[in-house]
Amino acid sequence: MSRRFNKYMIIFIALAAFVSAEREVLAHHLAGLPHYGYQENYPKYSKVEEKRTSGDYEITFSYYKIYNTNTVELVVYIKNIKTGKPYSGSNVTFIVYSEAQHPEDTDPYVSNIATGNTYRAGWKYEIDGIYFMRVSFADEDGSIINEEFKMQIGEVGTNWKWIAITGGAFLLLFCIVVLKKRADMK
């Protein structure tokens, strides 16, 4: 095989490894809100940070699993877009439910306000899976604002799509090498 082909193979393998690496491995820097929770239960890191706009409010949701437990810390920061100030209401509730449940069938968690106007609640889960968290709070007019966020807790299972894509790419490379060798023999 030629040196040029080997060079491209190494580049391809490096790119495949980089693309397939988990997000946590690459996340050395956490932007924004997740830093507020580092005082308790260190070490932990945010699994996700998602921002949404609902009405006059920007809602930032973050969660992280506390190591060696079935506890997840749910954290929400709510900011009024018009005034630029954090939401200061006291009645922010979280409802957590799985894909197989309905939100009305679960009990709400009343959040505790923490430093920096973040609302937090601890939640215990039984099995790994996909869950949804609905945050509810009242705006200045008294109307209730609901926003839902998706969470993946633990190992949900093998993502066969990525395994098939990677296997297909290696099979394609193998076929190219075989065809190249056959062409060189003629």
All structural domains of the chain: 32-155 (2.60.40.3340)
Model pLDDT, residue 88:
81
Model pLDDT, residue 101:
66
Kindly tell me if the per-residue pLDDT of 120 is higher than 80.
yes
pLDDT confidence band for 111 (50 / 70 / 90): low
The string of pLDDT tens digits covering residues 163-182 is 888 999 999 999 999 888 88
Contacts of 135 (CB under 8 A, 6+ apart): 59, 61, 76, 92, 93, 94, 119, 146, 147, 148, 149
- What's the pTM value of the predicted model, to 2 decimals? 0.57
- Residue type at position 174: F
The pLDDT mean for the chain works out to 76
The string of pLDDT tens digits covering residues 34-45 is 444 444 444 455
